[in-house]
């Protein structure tokens, strides 16, 4: 409560704090200095290579990639290259993230499983496309770091689990879409089993030679289709 103050030669008046008045005014939004770099990344690196899904392009323009890389590399976050994130892991090249996201074809009603959380960037992009994202990371420190970054950025629809992704996440299966961001020599059968009928998986497959493979689970069986050659870190398994 603000007390009335008597001024000489006048009746008591009520003083209103200028601070309260300022609080009622719209506050200016923080300037995102990386937004022009994201826009250029989408135009120059992604659209020019043929990615056209407007929802994917919007997600790539929106998600702050620089928040998912070490502070010393933030100035390189929107360049046309993968970047190290520590612990012998990398964040994929922006084009590959967009290409895989478009190939996955996630819809707003879909449950998505991601194997290989890494930095959490791909999960953040998928969160813009799907209803919910479950993501598994075998490296404990990366899992904790990604979970913290995603929480800090407000991605409440992404759920991070530390563990061996080979077995998938059976408690949340079946999944409409599955994305794998590490390369096994063969597609793990548990992931095929957890894919919903009519579902799709995007996964790099191979060792010395890797191909990004789209897997469709149809009434007639499982159909695999190679798309482009890629280079991902090997698919790691847990001990024991």
- Per-residue pLDDT tens for 29-88? 567 899 999 999 999 999 999 999 999 999 999 999 999 999 999 999 999 999 999 998
214 strand-pairing partners: 202, 225
Residue (of 114, 119, 102, 115) closest to 58 by Cα position:
102
Per residue in 124-137, pLDDT (tens digit) is: 999 999 999 999 99
Both tokens assigned to 70: 């070490």
Q: How far apart are CA 189 and CA 168, in angstroms?
A: 10
Q: Which domains does the chain have, with CATH numbers?
A: 82-90+105-230 (3.40.50.150)
Judge whether residue 2 has pLDDT over 50: no
Percent of the chain predicted with pLDDT > 70 = 86
Please answer whether residues 189 and 90 qualify as being in contact, where contact means their C-beta atoms are separated by less than 8 angstroms: no
Q: Which two tokens stand for residue 127?
A: 């969160």
Decide if 85 contacts 72 (C-beta within 8 A): no
The CA distance from 102 to 120, in Å, is 18
Give the pLDDT of residue 239: 54
Residue 238: predicted pLDDT? 77
Active site residues: 92
The pTM is what?
0.86
Q: Is 211 exposed, middle or buried (0-12, 13-18, 19+ CB in 10 A)?
A: middle
SS3 221: strand
Chain mean pLDDT for the chain: 90
């Amino acid at each position: 409560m603000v007390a009335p103050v008597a001024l000489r030669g006048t009746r008591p008046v009520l003083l209103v704090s200028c601070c309260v008045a300022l609080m009622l005014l719209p506050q200016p939004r923080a300037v995102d200095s990386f937004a022009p770099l994201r826009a250029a990344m989408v135009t120059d690196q992604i659209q020019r290579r043929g990615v056209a899904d407007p929802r994917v392009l919007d997600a790539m323009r929106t998600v702050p990639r620089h928040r998912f890389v070490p502070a010393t590399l933030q100035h390189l976050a929107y360049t046309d290259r993968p970047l190290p994130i520590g612990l012998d892991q990398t964040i994929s090249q922006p084009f590959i993230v967009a290409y895989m996201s478009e190939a996955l074809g996630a819809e707003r009603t879909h449950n998505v499983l991601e194997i290989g959380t890494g930095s959490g960037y791909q999960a953040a992009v998928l969160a813009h496309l799907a209803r919910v994202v479950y993501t598994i990371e075998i490296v404990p420190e990366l899992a904790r770091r990604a979970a913290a970054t995603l929480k800090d950025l407000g991605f409440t629809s992404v759920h991070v689990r530390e563990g061996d992704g080979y077995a998938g996440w059976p408690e949340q299966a079946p999944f409409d879409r599955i994305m794998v961001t590490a390369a096994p020599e063969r597609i793990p059968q548990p992931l095929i089993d957890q894919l919903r009928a009519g579902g799709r998986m995007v996964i790099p497959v191979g060792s010395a030679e890797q191909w990004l493979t789209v897997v469709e689970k149809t009434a007639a069986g499982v159909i695999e289709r190679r798309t482009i050659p890629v280079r991902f870190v090997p698919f790691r398994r847990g001990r024991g």
